[in-house]
Amino acid sequence: MSVHDTPEALAAALPRGRALVGLDLGDKTIGVAVSDGLWSIASPLETIRRRKFGLDAARLLDIAAGRDAGGFLLGLPRNMDGTEGPRCQSTRAFARNLSRMTDLPIGFWDERLSTVAAERALLEADTSRRRRAEVIDHVAASYILQGFLDRLSHMELHR
């Protein structure tokens, strides 16, 4: 199984020069972001309205194939005290199920406050309430992915 619990383990498993797909899993939607092949910039892509796992996974695998992605990064919704609750268990189950459908490495990134940061950025950009509701999930996914990309950059600098 290609699910990795630490950023270091995921980084070691990722093929160089290929994009990453970042995910913000919600109960009703999945925010999707993608990186460039150099792992420097995360960009919001789309929000998928959740239906059944098989359909959701097929869409994610299509996105990964279309972007020549080398892996998936899922936001892990830890509690503010760092513990893991039911939402983390659900995210880990999603990762396990997705790993049965792909050989791409899958990892996690602590997503605490990513939605808050995305909301703040959208408010600062004077985005309407309706537009914020449409884009918040994939903007949050880009914050999650950018956090991991920044960590990768830091890890590379200290090798």
For residue 33, the SS3 value is strand
pTM: 0.86
Predicted confidence (pLDDT) at residue 10 exceeds the cutoff of 90: yes
Across the strands, what pairs with 23? 32, 74
Predicted confidence (pLDDT) at residue 13 exceeds the cutoff of 50: yes
Tokens of 22: 């970042």
How confident is the model at residue 159, as a pLDDT? Answer: 47
Integer Cα distance of 82 and 55 in angstroms = 31
Contact 45, 63 (CB under 8 A): yes
pLDDT average, residue stretch 139-146: 88
What's the pLDDT tens digit per position in 95-140? 999 999 999 999 999 886 556 565 676 566 666 666 655 566 787 8
Identity at 80, one-letter amino acid code: M
Across the strands, what pairs with 146? none
122-153 in b/e form (b: 16+ CB < 10 A) is beeeebeeeebeebbbbbbbbbbbbbbbeebe
Q: SS3 for 86-139, per residue?
A: HHHHHHHHHHHHHHCCCCCCEEEEECCCHHHHHHHHHHHCCCCHHHHHHHHHHH
What is the domain range of residue 125?
3-157
User: What CATH code is carried by the domain that includes residue 55?
Assistant: 3.30.420.140
Residue 148 main-chain phi, psi, to 5 deg: -70, -40
Q: Give the chain's mean pLDDT.
A: 87
Domain count, the chain: 1
Helix (H) or strand (E) run with residue 19 in it: strand 19-25
